[in-house]
Every structure is written in C-alpha cells, then in structure tokens.
Structure 1
Amino acid sequence: MSRLKENGFEYYTLDELKEKTYYKQDLEALTSVFDGLPQDEYAPHLNRYRRYARAVIMPGSHRVEWLPKTVINDKAYYEYFQGSFNPEYTDEYRRFPALPEEMMHNQLLEDIIRFDFQQTFWMKEDALMPVHAGIHFVKLCVHDDGEVAVSSPNNLHQDGEPFTFAHLIRRHNVKGAMNAISVPDHRGRMPVDLHPDELTASFYLENPLESYGVYDPLVTHYVGTVEKGGKNGPGERSAILIDFQPTVVSDSEKTSSMKGLTDQMIFV
C-alpha cells in the first residue's frame, strides 16, 4: 500500500522526469510563466499571483485533454469550483486567468499531471470515467521588507477534491513557506498552535520539482506565509498545484465517507 493511501500524505522528488531530454527546456518554459503571472484579483493585498487551467484524464490511456476556456472581453479564463471548503471566499466559484496556450503543449507539465494521476486511487466505477484535473500556477511574492505573501486558506485545511499535489518550481530569497500536514481534527487551526507530535509532517520545499501529495479525507495541510530574505531582489515561492476529482460521483460515494472506502479503491 502506498503512503498516500495509508497515511494521506507522500513526498516525491520526480527524479524520473528530470532525466527526460526535454526536462531543462520545458522547465525553463514553465518557470517563465511565473514571471508574468497576474495578481490574484480576489486577494490583491496578499501578494498572491496565479493562473489556472482545467483538463480531464482519459481512462486507460491517461491522455490529458484540456477543457475549453471561458472568454470574456477577449481574455481567457477558467472557472474554479471549491464549494464551501474555503471559508475565506463565500462564493462557491472563482474565475482565474487561463494558463498560456503554449502550456497546453508542454511535455513536462503533461508528464507531471500523469505522474500525479498515477499515484491516485478510485472506486472502480470512477476509474471507468474521465477524471477532472485542476492545474494551478501560484506565486507568493514580496518585494519589500515587512511585506507578507499569504496562501489561501491561511490555516490547516482540506480542499474538497480527493487528491492535491504540490510541485515547487522556484524558491528564491524567501523566509517562511513551511509546509505542514496534520489530521482532519485540526482543520482551521494553525500549526504553531499545535504540539509538534500533532503534526504528521513539517518541511520546506527547496528545489525544482520537489513535491508532495495529499489524500484529502485523511489529512489537513498548510503552507506558511512568505517574507523577503536577506538578498537583493524579491522573495518568491512559485509552485504548481494539481487536484483531481471524479467527473461522476458513484452512489456508494454519496452514501459513504471516502475514508471508509479506501480499502475498496484501485490505483489507475
């Protein structure tokens, strides 16, 4: 049994992707997108920048199919639904600027998505259907001493999607950005308020493609605020977040908790 299935959390390095011939070129292309990320219009005071895209993973082949964008005033967006899981936003939907079109053809990004998907497990009914993937490019960036960049929600939380994976792309001149994992009972709390024994894990992502995944029913997770380090230039933590959820919810999932079904789930 994988650590993700057993404990709800697993750490990854993605070393196998770093050996691909396209790795360096495609990573540079991914990294360059973060240079021009637009400010998160839902939190312009929190020094957060982001783009988003939606795709489906086809059963069997694991082919990534990108979903259509919404175009408003000649600008492309994707709708993001999180229901009631983020208390900082009362609307169930938010709308984020779409990833650039060239990212839909970036082999490294597609392979990251497929790697993550291969770690997931599903009811066999769900595994017969396409699985929805949400791809977030998120940058926490501060330019001046005393500024703080804040993730959302700013506490131990669950996302509502069964699986979420985080992949560091760039960390530069940063203080903070600690990752913490705990149990669902501590949802809404801050890691600093817990005894160290109450944390499943606490760590920092330092290098490109250093990653982790969480199985939402079993854990809460958190990334700390970002402050500027002691070097010249801005402080930045940029990461790709990828979440997965079924496109069709099975009857058994409607009547049972996901946690109680883990032994019946299969890897895809």
Structure 2
Amino acid sequence: MEVIAVSQLKEAGYEYYHFKDKIDYPGIDDDLAALQHAFDNLPADEYAPHLNRYRRYGRALVMPGTHEVTWLPETWVDGHAYYEYFQGSFNPEYVGEYRRFPALWQCSMENRLLREMIRQDFRETFWTREDALMPFHAGVHFVKLKVENPGDVAVSSPNTLHQDGEPFTFAHLIRRNNISGGLNAISVPRHRGKMPADIPQDDIKQSFYLDKPLESYSVYDPLVTHYVGDVEKGETDGPGERSAILIDYQPTVIADPDQIRSTRGNTDFMIYV
C-alpha cells in the first residue's frame, strides 16, 4: 500500500524552507533578478506612509487540477490600475475596510518565477471536496520594508502575532540588504494580537530570519499565528530593505443561497459585471 507523507504544513500548520529546494530551472536567477528590479520602484503604502512600507498587489485565479493561473482584471482609477484587498476582522488596523493597492506590473505577472511560485505554493494547499469544485483565489503581495536613515523603523501590518483570514499564506524573500530586525515568529492561535516577547516562549513554535533570496515559509491560518518584526537600518552606508512576495489562497465557494447578498432585492448598489 502506498504511504502518503504528511507535510509539515498540514501537520504543524507551518513550514520554513528554501524555495529552490522545491522548484529550480534554468534561468531562475534571471527571473529572480527581474523580480528584484520590480521591487526597486514600489510605491509607498498610502494607508501607512509613515511606516516605511511599500507595496503592489495582484489577484489571480488558480484552476484545480491544471493549476493554470489567470490574472483577474484590475480596477482603473484616474488612469492607474489597482486591486482591492479585504481582510474582514482579521487585521485590527483595518477592520472591515477595503484597501486599494497599485496593481503589479504586467511584466511581473508574466514572470516565470512568480507563476511557478503561485503554482507550487498552491500544490501544497489542501481543501474540502466542496472547495475544490471551483477555482481558487490567489492574492499576490509585493511588500518592501525600507529604511533610509539611522533611527528609521519600517513596520509590517499588523504588527503583532496574527492570522490573515485566508486559509494559506506563503512568504518568499526576494531581497534583504543592510538591515537589522525582521524576525519571523510562529505561535499558537490563542496569542493572536500579542507580541512574541509577551507570551510564554514555549508557545513559540519556531522563530527565524529570512536572509537569502527565496528563503520561504508558509502558514495554515487556522492552526497558527505569525509575526514579522520591525526593520531598522544596518551599519553600512545607503538604505536598507526587506522585500518579500506574499501569496495567499482562498476558495471560490458555492455559497449558501441565504448568504448571497445579491438575492436580497436591494438593487440600488448592484452593478453589471
């Protein structure tokens, strides 16, 4: 009888690894360099311009079985492309709030390494049979924490142990240069909203730094909380940065008809799609 290995992600709720141990191909370093270049010109996060955080975002569908990736249409406002992002109650800094982030560049969407990330990460997720009847949603975040001057601090959101609200999140380091900090910590769900220093250290499942490009980790949201520490400038001249791609996955469900707002009869705010 075939023995099927249980992944650490499924068993423990997280995994820390290097992406090249899972996917490698001729030209991967060139594709990585192209993604690093895309991080050179990320716009500031307009929702927290004082926290030295820069980002772009994209939304795609992943087909079960074939793992085909299709990017969803952007929202255009004043000639600029955006994607909407919503976490419900899971981000205490933006509870119930939609955020609109500048869209990924088209060249980034077509980058083979990014598409391999989306597909490979998806292969490691797990769902109910009902979930798998429909395509899956992938949210792709390019996030840079950048510090230019001594004393500057760059902060992730939310700045505590947290859960994201999406069942799975994968993080891939793209570049780390001239910084201190950026500690990653994995803990248990009951410590959501707390700082790692304020909980029993036995409840820290693992802590680590992402140092080299394509060092990675993944979390299964129901089983763990996770945290990224503040970033400060290092000792050498020039700015410092921690740049990472975050990819989250959630199902496109066949909803309970009683929960579909479009069936409630108020057409005032409905749109044609």
> Which TM-score applies when normalising by structure 2?
0.90
Cα contact 1:125–1:250 (8 A) shared by 2? no
Does residue 122 (structure 1) correspond to residue 115 (structure 2)? The answer is: no
1:9 pairs with 14, 33, 37, which one? Answer: 14
Aligned to 2:74: 69
2:110 pairs with 105, 110, 117, which one? Answer: 105
2:211 pairs with 194, 206, 211, which one? Answer: 206
Does residue 181 (structure 1) correspond to residue 186 (structure 2)? The answer is: yes
Does residue 95 (structure 1) correspond to residue 97 (structure 2)? The answer is: no
The structure 1 segments of at least 4 consecutive aligned residues displaced by more than 3 Å after TM superposition are 16-19
What whole-Å deviation, never above 9, does each CA across 1:103-129 have from its counterpart, x for those lacking one?
A: 121111000111100110000121121
Q: Secondary structure at the match of 1:121?
A: coil
Counting matched residue pairs gives 252
In our comparison, the structure showing a higher alpha carbon Rg is 2
Which amino acid letter does the alignment assign opposite residue 248 of structure 2? Answer: D
Aligned to 1:194: 199
Does residue 57 (structure 1) correspond to residue 62 (structure 2)? The answer is: yes
2:42 pairs with 37, 42, 59, which one? Answer: 37
- With 241-250 and 93-102 compared, the bigger mean Cα shift is at 241-250
Please give the alpha-carbon distance, in whole angstroms, between the structure 2 residues aligned to 1:19 and 1:83. 36
Cα contact 1:22–1:107 (8 A) shared by 2? no
Alignment of 1:239-258 (within 5 A): 239-248=244-253
> Which TM-score applies when normalising by structure 1?
0.91
Offset at 1:16? Answer: 4.5
Offset at 1:17? Answer: 6.1
Cα contact 1:126–1:250 (8 A) shared by 2? no
Does residue 86 (structure 1) correspond to residue 91 (structure 2)? The answer is: yes
What whole-Å deviation, never above 9, does each CA across 1:6-64 have from its counterpart, x for those lacking one?
A: 11111121224663112011111100011000000000000000000000101110000
What whole-Å deviation, never above 9, does each CA across 1:158-177 have from its counterpart, x for those lacking one?
A: 00000000000000011100
Offset at 1:195? Answer: 2.6
Identity %: 66
- With 192-201 and 225-234 compared, the bigger mean Cα shift is at 192-201
Please give the alpha-carbon distance, in whole angstroms, between the structure 2 residues aligned to 1:28 and 1:74. 28
CA RMSD in angstroms, aligned pairs only:
1.3
Q: Secondary structure at the match of 1:122?
A: coil
Alignment of 1:255-266 (within 5 A): none
Q: Secondary structure at the match of 2:9?
A: helix
Alignment of 1:220-235 (within 5 A): 220-235=225-240
Q: Secondary structure at the match of 1:238?
A: strand
Q: Unaligned stretches of 5+ in structure 2?
A: 1-5, 260-273
Cα contact 1:17–1:108 (8 A) shared by 2? no
Offset at 1:222? Answer: 0.3
Please give the alpha-carbon distance, in whole angstroms, between the structure 1 residues aligned to 2:24 and 2:205. 31
Q: Secondary structure at the match of 1:124?
A: coil
Structure number with higher helix proportion: 1
- With 154-163 and 83-92 compared, the bigger mean Cα shift is at 83-92
